[in-house]
Amino acid sequence: MKLLLIGISGHEKDFLLSLPILKTYLTKFDDINKLFNIDTLEYGPDIDTDIIVSGINNNNPDIICFSCYIWNIDKIREVIPQVDTKIIVLGGPEVSLDFINKGKFDDLEVDYLVYGEGEIPLYLILKTLDNPTIPKTGVVYKKDNKYYYGNRNFLEKLEDDSVFLSGNVPHHLLNSNMRVNIETQRGCNFRCAYCQYGKNFPFIRYRDPLLVIKEFKYLYSKGIKYVRVLDSNFFSNKRHAYKILKELVVNKIKTHLVLEGNSVSLDDEIVDLLGKYTSLGNDIILSVGLQTTNKESSKIVNRYHNLESFSLAIKKLVDVNIIPRTDLILGFPLETKETYINGIIYLIDLFRNSRGYVGLNILIILSDTEMIEISKQYNLSVNENHMVYETPTLNKEDFSECIDINAVIFRIFDPIVTKEDIEIREAFYRLSDKIGYKECIYYLKDKIFGSGNYKFTLKDFPKGEYDYYRKTGKDIDDKSLLELLNRKYNE
């Protein structure tokens, strides 16, 4: 029998690590290898549905398994009715008990729904195809609109096998233009109310640091320049992080490295080691989540920060040439237009004289998170795509205005790549010093959104935010933006 694992990435230079992880786990079992031929299909975010359908049907699989995320679930829904496959499995973060119980998948002709980690459930599905109603951990079997539930599953120990060293990542994905994802751990030592990751894991599981380094060496030998570590907090165990960073330095492995962490984990020893890695000519982008500067909001979502300590941590990173990236989320309870804009101003002032950049996002109420109940408690208005669009302290008009501001800030404070990016930031700070940050932001917002010259300004809220992130860099050219900034400065 043929099993086909299918993924649609969220970025054109990315691929889903989940597919080779599943394949590596399953193919370690002799009984699976005897009965199943396992293959993968990886697609980018802009792929046509017809191409996916054709790719599946041409492979003539007996079983297909989709890895479902918020960015690809709609496309997967379009694909499913058009394929000829006998058995269909859905898994991934977008498949949860909450969504299953609310009937989100009732309209889909699928056989199995996998919630939580996929390795054990998929193995059990393959082992019991002749008796599908047997309860299986992490699996819900769907037959004639009846559901057969299994208990939640948990992989107690991460496997010692490597998706890269085993050859289970297709060679065409390992090229210098792609960004490769690596995991060194699963789970999280934080319990942020809006986040799915790590919620149902009783503890964090770590991979062998030496195996991780072997993977880095392998990728380096293949010419891979961009590596993203998927860990929610790479520094959750400082000894674990230190071992990996030290080996990267000792082995002089060249990468453009993306990490996620928390400011409280960044002690002097870790920062010094990060600095040694950048001194070898490497770039490190360190995403240090902030999400909001509103103390009341941060307490509600369990993401409290001491802003003084946060500022010191960012300055330490900048001093050793780390590129900090920090997110803000629009739509938290008790956030107002004023507090949200103050948070933006805090960040852009903090990133002065650095290559730091910001990520500005709208709050999405994810399944299996505390935000579901919090959104009800604080009367947040949520659309059919689980995106907040209005709150009691941020009406729809103010919410839309904040999204317009997001577009302006994202255009200026996205990653610095060219000399024009530097010139634009310098011009922004120069004008802000003259008229003030808030006045500069509103000047640009009014000029850009009042002109009607840009396609993405003709938004159908709330989908506009997605267009901003994809189109501001193309629609607002460097020359026009510099002219706007310099013209106002010279008045």
Domain with CATH 3.40.50.280 in the chain: 2-149
What's domain 2-149's superfamily in CATH?
Cobalamin-binding domain (3.40.50.280)
Q: Please tell me the least confidently modeled range out of 38-42, 56-60, 455-459.
A: 455-459
What is the average pLDDT across 469-490? Answer: 84
Cβ neighbourhood burial of 250 (10 Å; 0-12, 13-18, 19+): exposed
On the question of pLDDT at 268 being above 80, the answer is yes
Element (H, E) at 402: helix 396-412
Which residue in 167, 108, 111 sits closest to 139, CA to CA? 111
Measured between alpha carbons, how far is 287 from 317 in angstroms, rounded to an integer? Answer: 11
Q: Tens digits of per-residue pLDDT, 313-346?
A: 999 999 999 999 999 999 999 999 999 999 999 9
Q: Six-digit token pair at 121? A: 């459930």
The pLDDT assigned to 13 comes to 87
Q: 462: cis peptide before it, omega within 30°? A: yes
**Among 16-20, 93-97, 247-251, 339-343, which stretch is predicted with the lowest mean pLDDT?**
93-97
E strand map for 150-199: 179-182, 185-186
What's the confidence (pLDDT) of residue 459? Answer: 53
Q: What is the CATH topology of the domain spanning 171-415?
A: pyruvate-formate lyase- activating enzyme (3.80.30)
Contact 127, 150 (CB under 8 A): no
- Tell me which residue of 127, 70, 92 sits closest to 21, measured CA to CA: 92
pLDDT band at 464 (very low <50, low <70, confident <90, very high): low
pLDDT of residue 343: 98
Mean pLDDT confidence for 384-402: 91
CA distance 251 to 249: 6
Euclidean distance between CA atoms 94 and 73, whole angstroms? 7
Is the pLDDT confidence value at 95 over 70?
A: yes
pLDDT of 456 reads: 56
Q: What is the pLDDT of residue 86?
A: 87
pLDDT on residue 417: 86
Tokens of 105: 């998948």
Q: Of 238-252, 277-291, 340-354, 396-410, which gets the smallest average pLDDT?
A: 396-410
Model confidence at 458: pLDDT above 70 = no
Note the pLDDT tens digit of each residue in 128-148.
999 888 888 899 998 887 888
* Token couple for 113: 């729904």
What pLDDT is attached to residue 202? 78
What are the distances in angstroms from CA 453 to CA 108, 421, 432, 484? 41, 21, 24, 14
pLDDT at 108 over 70: yes
For residues 273 and 238, is the Cβ–Cβ distance under 8 A?
no
Tokens at 66, concatenated: 């989709």
> What torsion do the CA atoms of 401, 405, 408, 414 make, to the nearest 10 degrees?
-140
Strand partners, 322: none
Domain with CATH 3.80.30.20 in the chain: 171-415
For the residues 340-369, what does the mean pLDDT come to?
Answer: 93
pLDDT at residue 473, as a whole number: 64
Enumerate residues 6+ apart whose C-beta is below 8 A from 23: 5, 38, 40, 163, 168
Side chain identity, residue 258: V
Q: How confident is the model at residue 465 (pLDDT cuts 50, 70, 90)?
A: low
C-alpha 13/C-alpha 170 separation (Å) is 14
Cα 388 → chain centroid: 18
126 dihedral zone (left: phi>0; alpha: psi -120 to 50; beta): alpha
Under the banding of pLDDT at 50, 70 and 90, the label for residue 463 is low
| Pairing status of strand 179-182 against strand 226-229 | parallel
The pLDDT value recorded for residue 264 is 86
- List the single range of 48-57, 167-176, 315-324 with lowest mean pLDDT: 167-176
Angle at 195 (CA atoms; ends 193, 198), nearest 5 degrees: 105
With a pLDDT cut of 70, the percent of the chain lying above it is 94
Q: CA-CA distance, 210 to 162, in Å (whole number)?
A: 11
CB within 8 A of 88, min separation 6: which ones? 63, 64, 65, 66, 80, 109, 110, 111, 112
What pLDDT digit, counting tens, does each position of 370-389 carry? 999 999 999 999 988 788 99
- In the numeric block, which tokens belong to residue 415? 């990653």
Among 134, 138, 173, smallest CA distance to 152 is for 138
The pLDDT score that the predictor gives to residue 152 is: 80
* Structure confidence at residue 143 (pLDDT): 83
Q: What does the mean pLDDT of the chain come to?
A: 91
pLDDT reported for residue 325: 95
